[in-house]
């Protein structure tokens, strides 16, 4: 897998980070991934639910020391 495309949605609130993720995924080729940066705790539930629903692949999710969530998604179709 290549280096994920970075989507910086820090400071946004639901559904903003998810909408930014969806818009960016549309620009990627199958097999490419993105890393969403979000300070909205809701993203940790919203993103995996949407990814599962539409059939993409979840990568690792982590929270850094500054409280930013790093959520990786791979485009599957």
User: One of 5, 14, 22, 48 is an active-site residue; which one?
Assistant: 14
What is the three-class DSSP state of 38?
strand
Q: Measure the CA–CA gap between 67 and 77, rounded to whole angstroms.
A: 31
Instruction: Give yes or no: 30 in active site.
Output: no
Distances (CA, A) of 38 to 10, 30, 42, 44, 47: 4, 23, 9, 9, 11
- Which amino acids are annotated catalytic? 14
């Amino acid at each position: 897998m290549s280096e994920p495309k970075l989507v910086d949605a820090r400071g946004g609130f639901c559904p903003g980070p998810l909408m930014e993720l969806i818009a960016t995924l549309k620009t990627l080729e199958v097999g490419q991934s993105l890393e969403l940066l979000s300070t909205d705790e809701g993203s940790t539930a919203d993103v995996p639910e949407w990814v599962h629903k539409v059939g993409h692949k979840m990568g690792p999710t982590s929270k850094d020391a500054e409280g930013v969530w790093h959520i990786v998604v791979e485009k599957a179709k």
